[in-house]
Chains A and B, each alone.
Chain A
Amino acid sequence: MAATDPDVPSVSALPLPVALRRVTRDILATLEWHTPGWLAYWGAVGLCFFLWSLALLVWTYQIYSGLHITGLLHPVMWGAYIATFVFWIGIAHSGTLISAILFLFRARWRTSIARAAETMTIVAIATAGLFPILHLGRAWRFYWLIPYPNERGLWVNFSSPLIWDAVAVGTYFVASVLFWFLGLIPDFASVRDHTAGWRGWIFGRLAVGWRGSAHEWRHFRSAYAVLAGLITALVISVHSIVSWDFAVAIVPGWHSTIFAPYFVAGAVFSGLAMILTLLVPGRVLLGIREYVTDDHLEQVAKLIVAVSLIVTYSYASELFFAWYRGEPAERSQFLFRAAGAYAPLVWLAIVCNSIVPLAFLRRAARRSPAVLFAISIAINIGMWTERFVIVVASLAHEYDSYSWGRYWPTAFEWTVLLGSVGWFLFWFLLIIGHIPSVPMAETKEHLITPASAEAADS
């Protein structure tokens, strides 16, 4: 009999062969369309499809009539689209944190939520990647960001932060997809072996001949560890580079050396909140409540409160720098944020990101799905608002009072933003509903070698 382990699901109380079979059967059952939540699942997919279809219509109209249908006007030429780009890139970060960084730290609780987090990462990058294109007047020229040989002999300018962005986000997407795929290979083999028909055939191709021999596991583990290390470095670099889009400009409120760690902390923070937003209802919808337990969600909540304190420290540092540096435009920018046109948004962000997460200091809050969900939504709103304030308020209130201005998103932009949520959830639900939503092989690894045995071995 396997020892009961708090890091693995309750099946750990069963005899080992039975527990291993249960894991396979339970997770394979989530791929069937007759699971209890299938109607709600397909209803949610349909609603999300409707939302992004609506956004597609608006975007088509925007291409037809031009960017004047947005609220973008001098001096604020970067608005909700760019803020939302930064927001979605941030969301992508916690997937890597949970999969790669916590893997390197041997945090076993990450296993049950790692697949959802990795899938979220990929879909969030794909969503974020749309926004620079949406922001383009001539969106069909987006490929000019890619360095490719052409008859004009022109290359992209690698000194431009926008090209750094394209390179970093592209690299992050490719690396995240490969990392996600690698982790799925043993699970694809399980699906291949225990399903028939078209699903067995497709998963058979995806399993790329995996047989689970000790030699293959050796290569698998080496590759997984190496990729985890590389992606950890990558994830920190990507959001740092996104922050440099702003920090290398001499705009008050942007030009700060703290921007890179500040953005990385904010990204991890918002991504962890999105994990809760997705998993609290998702574990019921997919029937994996036995695997994604309250203990796992509590661990995420603990991380959230820790990262929230780092984000709060960053807010305080920004304010301190503005005061201590003694640069009038910088001071004016932060006074504008505190009491100007965007002040309600600034204070909303502070409440949502610095105060509300403190509720997680109480254990009861960390273990209540309703509270977890509500706070995660508040943090999502707070983090989008923070990005909006950073992008917009800084541009609206630069050095010359003659060129100060205001920007508010129009109904067209709000529709596109809502559509991006639909796009994100649509692909997330479709993908997670058609692959093993919990890593089967890794869950079995914990059952075969409980934490106590692993500690003894090491």
Chain B
Amino acid sequence: MIGVVALFEVRDALLDAIAAARAQQLTIVTAFSPAYDPRIEAAVGVPRSAVSAWTFAGGVAGAIGGMAFTIWTVRQWPILILGGKPLVALPSFLIVAFESTILIAVCAALAGFFAGGRAMRRVARAAYEPSLSEERFGLLVACVSADAPLIGELMTRSGATAWRVVRS
């Protein structure tokens, strides 16, 4: 992919540049910021994260797995009665199943986070520079080589302090 990455000192300049790029029907790859910002997210049009789906799947697996595992283990040695509880003591096992629901859901949420961001991390790597984690904002726009100077000029007009061509 060939693109132009422009750097901004303030968030509002970045938002202006995104609006200008949209008006020119340019392909916005992503934006960079040192912190989470819902306005940038909305302006870029980031698709919905799949983390919730991962978490739900993990939670269901944890609940079923936790309950099945406890029942299966007592059936391996079906003579251990404790405190007058039945062998398959569902209220007791529910506690274990609840904990395994949370455990697997948390792990799945983290896996979803890593899986979701993996593709963009590869693309963003070429455009990235250390000041983007400190104080600057960035915008990555895809283009063909010949259009790069025009896009750079557009970014400068919107308030970019610097821009460069990136290839990834």
Are the C-beta atoms of A227 and B109 separated by less than 8 Å? yes
Chain B residues closer than 8 Å to A211, beta-carbon distance: 32, 120-121, 124-125, 128, 132
In whole angstroms, what is the CA distance A76 to B93 when docked? 29
Are the C-beta atoms of B125 and A237 separated by less than 8 Å? no
Min CB gap A182→B, angstroms: 6
Chain A residues closer than 8 Å to B112, beta-carbon distance: 219, 223
In whole angstroms, what is the CA distance A348 to B149 when docked? 75
Q: State which of A46-54, A167-175, A319-327 sits at the interface with chain B.
A: A167-175
Determine which of A147, A214, A248 lies in contact with B33 in the assembled complex, contact meaning CB atoms within 8 Å: A214
Q: State which of A32-40, A125-133, A156-164 sits at the interface with chain B.
A: A156-164
Min CB gap B164→A, angstroms: 16
Min CB gap A25→B, angstroms: 9
Chain A residues closer than 8 Å to B35, beta-carbon distance: 186, 441-442, 444-445, 447-448
Chain B residues closer than 8 Å to A74, beta-carbon distance: none
Are the C-beta atoms of A21 and B134 separated by less than 8 Å? yes
Interface assignment of B92: CB less than 8 Å from any CB of chain A? yes
Please judge, given known A-B contacts A160-B82, A212-B34, whether A230 and B99 are in contact too, CB under 8 Å.
no
Chain B residues closer than 8 Å to A220, beta-carbon distance: 36, 113, 117
Interface assignment of A61: CB less than 8 Å from any CB of chain B? no
Please judge, given known A-B contacts A158-B92, A171-B102, A214-B40, whether A222 and B51 are in contact too, CB under 8 Å.
yes
Determine which of B11, B49, B77, B133 lies in contact with A189 in the assembled complex, contact meaning CB atoms within 8 Å: B133
Interface assignment of B31: CB less than 8 Å from any CB of chain A? yes
Chain A residues closer than 8 Å to B100, beta-carbon distance: 167, 171
Determine which of B41, B103, B135 lies in contact with A20 in the assembled complex, contact meaning CB atoms within 8 Å: B135
Grouping DSSP codes into helix (H, G, I), strand (E, B) and loop, the B interface class, with mixed when no group exceeds half, is: helix
Please judge, given known A-B contacts A167-B96, A218-B41, whether A17 and B121 are in contact too, CB under 8 Å.
no
Are the C-beta atoms of B133 and A237 separated by less than 8 Å? no
Interface assignment of A193: CB less than 8 Å from any CB of chain B? yes
Interface string of B38-59 (1 = CB under 8 A from A): 1111001011110110010000
Interface string of A228-254 (1 = CB under 8 A from B): 001101100100010000001000000
Interface assignment of A155: CB less than 8 Å from any CB of chain B? yes
In whole angstroms, what is the CA distance A238 to B105 when docked? 16
Are the C-beta atoms of A217 and B135 separated by less than 8 Å? no
Determine which of A178, A186, A231, A234 lies in contact with B133 in the assembled complex, contact meaning CB atoms within 8 Å: A186
Are the C-beta atoms of A178 and B70 separated by less than 8 Å? no
Interface assignment of B80: CB less than 8 Å from any CB of chain A? yes
Name which residue of chain A comes closest to B136, CB basis.
A17
In whole angstroms, what is the CA distance A154 to B85 when docked? 19
Chain B residues closer than 8 Å to A157, beta-carbon distance: 74, 80, 82
Are the C-beta atoms of B31 and A214 separated by less than 8 Å? yes
Please judge, given known A-B contacts A178-B106, A178-B110, whether A190 and B41 are in contact too, CB under 8 Å.
no
Are the C-beta atoms of A24 and B135 separated by less than 8 Å? yes
Are the C-beta atoms of B82 and A174 separated by less than 8 Å? no
Chain A residues closer than 8 Å to B74, beta-carbon distance: 155, 157-158
Chain B residues closer than 8 Å to A411, beta-carbon distance: none
Interface assignment of B24: CB less than 8 Å from any CB of chain A? no
Q: Which of B1-35 contact A (CB under 8 A)?
A: 9-11, 30-35
In whole angstroms, what is the CA distance A21 to B134 when docked? 6
Are the C-beta atoms of A213 and B36 separated by less than 8 Å? no
Interface string of B100-141 (1 = CB under 8 A from A): 101101110110111011001100110010101111100010
Interface assignment of B64: CB less than 8 Å from any CB of chain A? no
Please judge, given known A-B contacts A158-B74, A219-B117, whether A212 and B133 are in contact too, CB under 8 Å.
yes
Q: Which of A11-48 contact B (CB under 8 A)?
A: 16-18, 20-21, 24
5 cross-chain CB contacts under 8 A: A159-B85, A164-B96, A171-B100, A211-B124, A213-B124
Add 18 more A-B contacts to A17-B135, A164-B95 (CB < 8 A): A17-B136, A147-B69, A147-B73, A193-B134, A211-B121, A211-B128, A212-B34, A212-B128, A213-B32, A215-B30, A217-B33, A218-B116, A219-B113, A223-B49, A226-B55, A234-B99, A445-B37, A449-B39
10 tightest Cβ-Cβ pairs between the two chains A and B? A193-B130, A20-B135, A155-B73, A445-B35, A223-B113, A222-B49, A444-B35, A222-B51, A211-B124, A215-B120
